[in-house]
């Protein structure tokens, strides 16, 4: 969630593609000085961006993964920028939109591209039988798998790195260092088509590196032009072959394939041609920087130093263009300090023709790299709210979205105190506390009843398309919890107060997300209502049909039943921490597939196993919804904390004191719990009260069928677990 609030009507969309060095530094500048009236959105395939300058140290084992990755979600939150995780397919400059994979396009007023580069895999077999070093996010797990296997293998393997530039030399030395203690003496090869390594670098620097290559027993193959890659060898232009077990591809870089498929001017290697102002040649509203850009007047090597130096110019020119002010040109420096890691904790370098080498140079490089990363990683983190803080005292900007934004159960009970607990009409036969209303139809419907529910969410994420999908699945969950089949829905959207063009864009994103999930469920969108407000809110009234005899209700649990939960817990704490900058991007990434997992198939499996009672876990948390089930059955339950499944990072967030806005209200039900050998301070205990958005189902299934039911759910892709047992004592007993 954005950290800053806007005080001026947003009228323009600035869209950033890619989380490279230029954009990362631009976001830092935007955090310090946002441009009023401009909404910024970063689109990136990954939620983390690796710093390429530290990759050799990471491969060699001098750094941990977290040392070299930029958390783009958190950086965007800090800058007040929307983050959308998606893969770009092409740009349509004429329509001013970016087409994305498996989701609707995004429109822009101004666009900036900082999408990096990738090795040229045009050689036959290279894409199928080698591991590309870029993008690093894909290379890193592949290298870890290879490294771990090689460290265990007792027979020698042949590992080839194809390429003769600085990156390939650093990489092969880092690999040799990482494998130095392997039980077998693996053979490393550096394969270059050139007559010498490191063209353009001073001879003295090359001599240092060649000596280090010999020390690590790395075989260098010069003038070795690879023309084909097969599963077990490299085929060279001179007819020779080189036997290989693993090949890493680190050749001359080229632009991402989708750049050439867009209506942009690109070089033969797919780089976007830009003017000195970093604007593309024919589309002044589109800018490009970093490795993906090519300035005809001053071409440069693909080196991160240029992307870093372009960031201030890019920032200035984007602001100037948005405000219709003059732009300034970027002038690449003629000389810069080039530092290359040499496997161990030493380095070589050069500035112009002056060579440098030694351990002191590694320490200098390490200090420079860590200082750069500190700027992007050590962002402000807001402390968690006080545990006893009244919900009404939480600052509006820090109030949670999703089900964490619901009104507490006590408020509802007090407001409904003077109303009848059951609708006194002939058409309804559903207690208010069930998940949806059941409305009886005439006899011609062959025993079918209409099941209806309404739900609404405030955003957990900046992505309106994803929120449309999540809100729809969340509303449909009430129908599934009654074993009803969705039929139709009406939609209510509150749009932020924006310039009309931006409202249309957001509305289209939400509608396409809603429509996608309704179609998957076999339901129709009948219509709806719109209004304006402070922020986006999405609500749906959903209708479904069920056989009256097959309806599953909250009541019905029987003594000895096992309680099955179909999804892990922790969305409330996780997204509350994310809003304050205390959650890792990887945790949010892991939670999203579960937020987008429909409960439809889970209900079918539970019904096949004769579930006696069913509900979905939403805003009032596991304890609140479970107690409703137990009260309806006049029974109790025993739960073991260790059986409660948790989302990645949720326990860490709870242990640090982060909880959703609604959690304190949910904890008022703790007097109904009996703690047996459990401390209320335990993080996992907090899962009982954590409000869930698009949470799982809680079902009561007979002891005889519970295990087979869980097996079937797990085979269908649900993280199902037995978490408790139905007992006669009318409370919820919590054991370790």
Burial of 187 (0-12, 13-18, 19+ CB in 10 A): middle
- Two tokens, residue 436: 């949806």
403 is catalytic: yes
Residue 408 backbone phi and psi in degrees, to 5 = -65, 160
CB 467 within 8 A of CB 510: yes
Residue 590: DSSP 8-state: H
> What is the C-alpha to C-alpha distance for residues 404 and 406, in angstroms, rounded to an integer?
6
Burial of 485 (0-12, 13-18, 19+ CB in 10 A): middle
CB 363 within 8 A of CB 62: no
- Two tokens, residue 283: 């589309």
Residue 427: DSSP 8-state: S
> What is the C-alpha to C-alpha distance for residues 469 and 474, in angstroms, rounded to an integer?
9
User: Residue 467: which H helix or E strand, with range?
Assistant: helix 464-480
Q: 670 by DSSP, 3-state: which?
A: helix
Q: Catalytic residue among 76, 292, 400, 403, which?
A: 403
Q: What is the DSSP string of 320-371?
A: HHHTT---------S--EEEEE-SSS-EEEEETTEEEEEHHHHHHHHHHHHH
Place of tokens 């232009």: 237
Question: Taking the chain, what is the end-to-end CA distance rounded to the nearest angstrom?
Answer: 35
CA distances 528 to 457, 494, 539, 540, 584, Å, are 16, 11, 9, 8, 36
CB 113 within 8 A of CB 262: no
Active-site residue set:
403
């Amino acid at each position: 969630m954005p950290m800053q609030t806007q005080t001026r009507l947003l009228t323009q969309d600035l869209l950033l593609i890619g989380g490279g060095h230029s954009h990362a530094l631009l976001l830092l500048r935007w955090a310090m000085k946002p441009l009023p009236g401009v909404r910024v959105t970063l689109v990136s395939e990954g939620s983390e961006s690796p710093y390429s300058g530290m990759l050799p140290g990471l491969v060699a084992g001098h750094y941990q993964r977290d040392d070299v990755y930029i958390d783009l979600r958190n950086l965007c939150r800090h800058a007040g920028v929307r983050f959308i995780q998606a893969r770009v397919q092409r740009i349509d400059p004429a329509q001013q939109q970016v087409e994305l994979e498996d989701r609707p396009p995004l429109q822009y007023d101004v666009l900036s591209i900082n999408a990096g580069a990738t090795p040229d895999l045009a050689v036959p077999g290279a894409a199928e039988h080698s591991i590309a070093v870029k993008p690093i996010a894909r290379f890193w797990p592949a290298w870890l798998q290879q490294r771990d296997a090689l460290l265990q293998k007792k027979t020698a393997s042949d590992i080839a790195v194809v390429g003769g530039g600085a990156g390939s030399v650093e990489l092969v030395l880092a690999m040799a260092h990482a494998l130095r203690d392997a039980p077998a003496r693996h053979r490393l090869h550096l394969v270059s088509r050139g007559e010498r390594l490191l063209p353009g670098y001073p001879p003295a620097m090359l001599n240092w590196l060649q000596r280090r290559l010999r020390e690590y027993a790395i075989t260098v193959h010069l003038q070795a032009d690879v023309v084909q890659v097969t599963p077990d060898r490299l085929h060279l232009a001179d007819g020779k072959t080189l036997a290989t077990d693993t090949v890493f591809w680190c050749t001359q870089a080229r632009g991402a394939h989708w750049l050439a498929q867009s209506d942009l001017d690109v070089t033969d290697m797919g780089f976007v041609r830009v003017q000195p102002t970093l604007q593309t040649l024919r589309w002044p509203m589109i800018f490009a920087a970093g490795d993906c850009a090519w300035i005809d007047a001053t071409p440069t090597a693909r080196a991160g130093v240029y992307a870093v130096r372009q960031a201030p110019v890019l920032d200035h020119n984007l602001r100037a263009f948005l405000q219709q002010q003059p732009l300034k040109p970027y002038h690449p420096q003629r000389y810069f300090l080039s530092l290359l890691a040499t496997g161990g904790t030493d380095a070589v370098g050069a500035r112009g023709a002056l060579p440098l080498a030694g351990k002191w140079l590694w320490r200098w490089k390490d200090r420079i790299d860590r200082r750069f990363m500190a700027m992007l990683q050590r962002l402000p983190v807001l402390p968690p709210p006080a545990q006893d803080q009244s919900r009404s005292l939480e600052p509006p900007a820090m109030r949670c979205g999703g089900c964490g934004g619901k009104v507490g159960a006590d408020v509802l009970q007090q407001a409904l105190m003077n109303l009848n607990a059951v609708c006194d009409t002939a058409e309804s036969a559903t207690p208010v506390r069930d998940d949806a209303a059941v409305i009886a139809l005439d006899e011609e419907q062959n025993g079918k009843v209409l099941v209806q529910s309404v739900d609404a969410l405030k955003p957990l994420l900046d992505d309106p398309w994803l929120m449309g999908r999540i809100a729809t699945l969340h509303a449909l969950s009430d129908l599934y919890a009654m074993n009803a089949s969705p039929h139709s829905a009406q939609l209510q959207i509150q749009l932020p107060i924006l310039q009309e063009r931006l409202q249309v864009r957001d509305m289209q994103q939400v509608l396409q997300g809603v429509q996608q999930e309704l179609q998957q469920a076999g339901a129709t969108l009948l219509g709806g209502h719109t209004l304006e407000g402070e922020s986006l809110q999405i609500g749906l009234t959903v209708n479904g049909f069920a056989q009256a005899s097959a309806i599953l209700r909250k009541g019905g649990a029987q003594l000895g039943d096992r309680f099955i939960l179909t999804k892990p817990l922790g969305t409330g704490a996780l997204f509350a921490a994310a809003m304050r900058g205390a959650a890792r991007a990887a945790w949010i990434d892991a939670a999203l597939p579960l937020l987008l997992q429909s409960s439809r198939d889970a209900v079918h499996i539970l019904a096949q196993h004769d579930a006696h009672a069913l509900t979905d876990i939403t805003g009032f948390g596991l304890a609140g919804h479970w107690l409703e089930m137990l009260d309806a059955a006049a029974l109790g339950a025993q739960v073991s904390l260790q059986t409660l499944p948790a989302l990645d990072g949720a326990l860490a967030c709870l242990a640090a004191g982060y909880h959703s806005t609604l959690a304190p209200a949910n904890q008022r039900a703790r007097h109904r719990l009996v703690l047996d050998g459990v401390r209320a301070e335990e993080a996992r205990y907090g899962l009982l009260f954590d409000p869930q958005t698009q949470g799982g189902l809680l079902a009561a299934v007979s002891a005889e069928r519970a295990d087979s039911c869980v097996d079937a759910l797990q085979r269908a892709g649900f993280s199902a677990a037995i978490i408790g047992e139905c007992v006669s004592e009318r409370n919820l007993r919590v054991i370790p």
